[in-house]
Structure 1
Amino acid sequence: MAQAIDTEIQTYMPYLARNERYNKEKPFGADFPVDRCEGGQCANHIFDNQAVTVHNMRGGEQPVLDRHGFCLVHAQTSLTAAEASNSRTPPMERYLGEIERILYEKFPEYLRIEIMDFQVRKRVPEFPHKIGVKVEFEQPATVPHTDFSVSGAFMRMKDIFPGQEEHYENKSFDLINVWRVLKGPNDDWPLALCDFQSVDLDKDVTPNDCLHETGVGENWLLHANDSHRWYFMDWQEEADLIVFRNADSEGVRARAFHAAIRNPKSVCEPRHSIEVRVVAFR
């Protein structure tokens, strides 16, 4: 397959609309059916679909985690697409150990790293035109967001480490995501990340309730701003790891709003990817 370098992608981003609704009610979304609840809504999101230019990270100034909210790490790992699973199988356990070792090596500021969870995604050909098709794996997430707000970070820590509050309360930590494709090269629905320096935290960001059958979490959603600078990795290979911060315990460090984007020039098979989320203590 010939690989022409794309310096940018022209696409659309479904931002959360700046709608008066959110002056009265908080944005929310549920990840379970609510039809058994009379008058139940899966979400109250109103979207503002904006044209965006997404720039290629390759070849230019390399992003820095503490400045841009994300960075690139080139590292070989052992997990194959056939072995990838959402269960803790032996190949998955081996992979999680490799991710920990890579993070310790590349980011010495972290004194303790613990795996929180992981997610395999495999796009079905019907996505995104036929929502509701039964799928084995989660589909690409297209709304620009971070996985957690500061409050949501502590909610998730309580879920992952029940009864162990003394291990993370009053501690400084980051919630980090390590994202890669399972089969490269990939240009199908690549991950786009927004340069943190281009986000106005006072005007562009709003908390969003994440409703689950077993509880509630919180993340951040993004409103449109022409100042936003978006980036992707052209022809991503299995050894191209994208490392980004979702949140930190103090809410002061760079974080990466992110979303999967449609690439109108894609020639690859449907994207197959894996993300690992860790808590990294300073």
Structure 2
Amino acid sequence: MEDATSTVHASLYFLQRDELHKKQRPYTFKFPPNNGCPKSNLTHEKIDGIPVEDMRGREDQFQLEKNGFTILKVDTGLEYDDFFTHEGVNQYFRLMEEVLKTHLGASRVDLFRHCIRKRHPGYPVSDGSTYDYDQPTTVAHVDTSHEGTIDEIRRQYGKEADELLQKRFQWINFWKPLRGPANDWPLVLCDSSLINARKDLAVSDLLYPDLATENSLLYHRGGLRWYYLSDHAPDEIIVFKQSDSMRSACPGVPHASFCNPLTPKDEPPRQSIEGRVMVFYD
């Protein structure tokens, strides 16, 4: 039952079901195609009033193997400005590789990509100018698919990939605000134990100038449960799964961000850092 004292209501975008996708897989070009092909064949639907539960006060209840995400408290020893230096970011990522290796009981954890986001004060209303940093996204998605993860491992590891693909492998993200307590446009996560990957997710092609990859887009339906963390402190790191080669495990976590009506009026726009790692088990 929804707890009105700890639940907010969000507007999110979902992939709209389309007969076209039975014949033509969903796709998006990340550059202007020059062959007259439409840039995308996707249509999204905006759903208002989605209940989003606050995890504050029950952080320990959420586990990676059960829900697809968990919260780790990590003293990075870094200040805000350190995350905008090569040395500081490297120190953070090496620390998180070791933290995740220990927490997960993994044999190997390798960071392969990261992103810093700074919400422009005007977002989501655009004035047509180019943003200096990536912005939050309101589209519910998973960053990869099973095949997309295999392709990424082959890109990252080359000749070593065949051996690594014999192990259990996961694509896992970790996310935190750069300053806090943060409430502005928080990360919102779907409990992946409730996801039926075959019915709820559609694999979509992402086409870049130098590569083709995949992510997964979520159809809307009732019965899913969404969560965020209020007053999110910089030492609280949300770890969430994007794929898992063990088919019996819960799938990747659909996620997005939302305009939080409970954000204090004097809170500055969100700034956050996200890392992506490949995890392997012996």
CA contact (8 A) 1:153 1:249 kept: no
Equivalent of residue 109 in structure 2, options 107, 113, 123: 113
Q: 2:53 aligns to what?
A: 55
TM-score by length of 1: 0.90
Displacement after TM superposition at 1:31 (Å): 2.5
Q: 1:64 aligns to what?
A: 63
Within 5 Å, which residues of 2 pair with 1:53-202? Answer: 53-60=51-58, 62-85=61-84, 89-108=86-105, 110-130=106-126, 132-202=128-198
Q: Percent identity?
A: 29
Equivalent of residue 43 in structure 1, options 37, 40, 50: 40
Name stretches of at least 5 consecutive residues in structure 1 with no aligned partner: none
Q: 1:264 aligns to what?
A: 261
- Cα distance change of structure 1 residues 106 and 10 upon mapping to structure 2, 3 Å threshold: same
Structure number having the greater helix percentage: 2
Displacement after TM superposition at 1:261 (Å): 1.2
Displacement after TM superposition at 1:133 (Å): 2.8
Point out the more displaced range, 157-166 or 140-149: 157-166
**Letter aligned with residue 235 of structure 1:** D
Displacement after TM superposition at 1:218 (Å): 0.7
CA contact (8 A) 2:54 2:228 kept: yes
Q: Distance in 2 between matches of 1:174 and 1:200?
A: 18
Displacement after TM superposition at 1:131 (Å): 7.1
Q: Distance in 2 between matches of 1:211 and 1:79?
A: 36
Q: Distance in 2 between matches of 1:129 and 1:40?
A: 28
- Cα distance change of structure 1 residues 201 and 175 upon mapping to structure 2, 3 Å threshold: same
For the residue of structure 2 that corresponds to 1:203, the secondary structure is helix
For the residue of structure 1 that corresponds to 2:234, the secondary structure is coil
- Cα distance change of structure 1 residues 272 and 72 upon mapping to structure 2, 3 Å threshold: same
Aligned residues between the structures: 273
Q: Distance in 1 between matches of 2:39 and 2:135?
A: 17
Q: CA RMSD in A?
A: 1.9
**Letter aligned with residue 154 of structure 2:** K
Displacement after TM superposition at 1:42 (Å): 2.9
- Cα distance change of structure 1 residues 210 and 251 upon mapping to structure 2, 3 Å threshold: farther
Q: Distance in 2 between matches of 1:163 and 1:129?
A: 46
TM-score by length of 2: 0.90
